[in-house]
Structure formats: C-alpha cells, structure tokens
Amino acid sequence: NAGVTQTPKFRILKIGQSMTLQCAQDMNHNYMYWYRQDPGMGLKLIYYSVGAGITDKGEVPNGYNVSRSTTEDFPLRLELAAPSQTSVYFCASSSGVNTEAFFGQGTRLTVV
Amino acid sequence: GDSVTQMEGPVTLSEEAFLTINCTYTATGYPSLFWYVQYPGEGLQLLLKATKADDKGSNKGFEATYRKETTSFHLEKGSVQVSDSAVYFCALSGAAAGNKLTFGGGTRVLVKP
C-alpha cells in the first residue's frame, strides 16, 4: 500500500533556484493538502485542493504555486527559493468532509 | 476562521505516569476532531478521532472525548511508555471551512524510563 508518496526526501537549493516537490496518492482521494513544518513548530497550510482542477490558498501561500491536473498528483512549485522556505514539507490527502488525512513522509528542504 | 489551541510543551513524564494534553477549538458548524502523532523523523499519523459531540475516540491506550459544551478534545493516557515519546497534534476538519484540516501547534512529550 503506497498511500501518499512524496519526492524527493531531501533537497538543498541555492537562493533563487526553483524546484517542484512531487506528491502522489493512490487512494482516489479528492482532497489534497500541502503543509510546511518549521523546526519545533506546528503545521501551516500552504495550499489545498478539493478535486482535480480546483486549488485554493491556505494560510502561507506566498512564494509557492500548485496545480491539480489529476486526482492522483498535487505538485508544489517553489519559483524563487528563499532561506525562509527552509522547512519540512508534508503532503496529505483525505477522502472528503470530516475524514482523516493520510500524510506522506515529508520533504526536508534547505535553502542556502 | 477555525482554530485549534493546545498546551505548549515539552511535557516530560516518567514511565507509567498519567498524561493529559489539553486541546480547545474554535469552529463554525460541527467539525470532526482528531489527534495525530509524529514520531521523530516521520510524518504524521492518525492516533484517534471523534466525529460528533460526546463521541470518545480511543487507540493504543489513548482516549479523547469530543466536548461541544467546552469546545475541547483533551488527550489522555493512563500509563505512558518510553515509546509514547513523540509530538502530538490536535486538529479539526469541517465542511463549514471547506474541509481544511486545521492543526494546533503541537505538544512534544518526552517519557523517561
């Protein structure tokens, strides 16, 4: 059972570089989410999606973009990396209203 | 908007001690409530949940009761083990907020032998 798969697990970026964090789920979930977790802190919602073709901003969307062209995939794009984006990024999915979310293992990103 | 407030840690306990982590929430409508656990170096995994008032979620010796009158969902365990050392997150999800999963700040628990 794959569940939610995130790639890469680790990445070091230089300031100003761009990258895409990949997230895929095989549970046919409509809802998908991207969170960031700063050291010693809780999770902050970056973007979420309630289905293919539909995305919306969370509480910290600046500096990020997403797309949802299929039910399975929800990539997160960083266009101009900044040190403030150093964090651990978690992707999650859920089947619908009031249901539990399943999380990926996270991507640890360092911007230097 | 929806929000979750939980007690700050770290909470340091001895093995077999009683654990309580307080969680209160603000939400419109009737959200579902969750406790997630994050072990070192891992992602979050669901510990327990409750979907309506007075429901009790339980798993691995942990319990939490959905109290609508006090808007609370406190996590308890009667006798903790070293293996319970982790970060615990209270969360809510509701249709009124577009099913966004909103988390509290997390509480780190350290159980010493």
Tens of pLDDT, residues B89-107: 999 988 776 778 889 999 9
A89 close contact with B: CB closer than 8 A: no
Most B CBs within 10 A among A46, A98, A105, hence the mutation to make, goes to A98
DSSP code, position A17: -
pLDDT score at A1: 65
Rounded CA-CA distance B102/B4 in Å is 7
Mention every residue, 6+ apart, whose C-beta is less than 8 A from residue B61: B77, B78, B79
Instruction: Tell the burial category of A50 from Cβ atoms under 10 Å away from its Cβ (0-12, 13-18, 19+).
Output: middle
What distance in Å separates residue A29's CA from the closest CA in chain B?
13
What distance in Å separates residue B42's CA from the closest CA in chain A?
6
What distance in Å separates residue B44's CA from the closest CA in chain A?
6
pLDDT score at B1: 79
Spatial contact of B14 and B111, defined as CB atoms under 8 Å apart: yes
pLDDT score at A14: 97
What distance in Å separates residue B22's CA from the closest CA in chain A?
15
Q: What residues of chain A lie within 8 A of the CB of B46, using their CB?
A: 100-102
Mention every residue, 6+ apart, whose C-beta is less than 8 A from residue B12: B110, B111, B112
Q: Which stretches within A1-109 are classed as H helix?
A: none
Spatial contact of B69 and B86, defined as CB atoms under 8 Å apart: no
A99 close contact with B: CB closer than 8 A: yes
The rounded average pLDDT for each run of 10 residues, N- to C-terminus, in chain A (112 residues) is: 90 96 96 91 90 94 97 96 96 86 94 96
B100 close contact with A: CB closer than 8 A: yes
What pLDDT band is residue B13 in, cutting at 50, 70 and 90?
Answer: very high
- Could you tell me which chain A residue has the CA closest to the CA of B29? A98
pLDDT score at B76: 98
Interval B42-80: pLDDT, tens: 889 999 999 999 999 999 999 999 999 999 999 999 999
H or E element that contains A83: none
Q: What is the distance between the terminal CA atoms of chain A, rounded to a whole angstrom?
A: 35
Interface contact flag, A98 B101, Cβ < 8 Å = no
